[in-house]
Structure 1
């Protein structure tokens, strides 16, 4: 994925990923309620996401549709984090995550299962 979304743009995308296709005015209402944003701020961010190819907008009602999936964005952001902060090493990221807090037995078992599925 070649689209770089900033935190504020991700807030707009989160509404679409949660709700599915949504009119621009409803996205603005949700973000006003959740974050206290001005309606014009949301409309500006929707336009930015459209220019980046992350959102398509259609009539009637300025219906917005996500063109990129949440999982694609998560994967791209994770890859960028690994490259930028962990010298391209997923092992270093994994070690850093595990070293940050105490994991429950259930969490440890889930991680073992994930690693096992990769083998």
Structure 2
């Protein structure tokens, strides 16, 4: 995915990743529960996502059905890589060290990281 998506566009993507295809009205109803957006705002965001080629739409009578073209996992991977590259020189260890130094890791986080490392070693 070449072009970044904004936080607002990401909220629309989350709705489409959870369930698609959806009409603009369906998306607006699902996003509106968390944000104070009008249907027109959601339609504008859908238009931007179409222009960025991260969603597609097909006609269904007089309305359009929208669906993601980018998988959530691929998006998360790209954003994670971009963050690590930009802030930590592409290395994961400084990110974990940064979180640990600021007591940002709970005991559960540490246990999960230990389990993940153990699984990766075997």
Same fold (TM over 0.5): yes
Q: 1:91 to 1:67 in 2, by over 3 A?
A: same
Provide the C-alpha distance between the structure 2 equivalents of 1:99 and 1:62, rounded to a whole number of angstroms: 49
Q: Structure 1 stretches (4+) deviating beyond 3 angstroms?
A: none
Partner residue, 2:51: 51
User: Which stretches in structure 2 are left out of the alignment for 5+ residues?
Assistant: none
Partner residue, 2:98: 96
Alignment pair present for 1:32 and 2:35? no
Provide the C-alpha distance between the structure 1 equivalents of 2:120 and 2:93, rounded to a whole number of angstroms: 14
Q: 1:18 to 1:88 in 2, by over 3 A?
A: same
TM-score (norm 1): 0.88
RMSD: 1.6
Higher helix share: 1
User: Which stretches in structure 1 are left out of the alignment for 5+ residues?
Assistant: none
The number of residues matched between the two structures is 118
Provide the C-alpha distance between the structure 1 equivalents of 2:78 and 2:29, rounded to a whole number of angstroms: 29
TM-score (norm 2): 0.86
Higher mean C-alpha displacement, 86-95 vs 74-83? 86-95
Q: CA deviation at 1:117?
A: 2.9
Higher mean C-alpha displacement, 94-103 vs 14-23? 94-103
- Asked if the contact 2:99–2:105 (Cα under 8 Å) also holds between the matched residues in 1, the reply is no
Alignment pair present for 1:84 and 2:86? yes
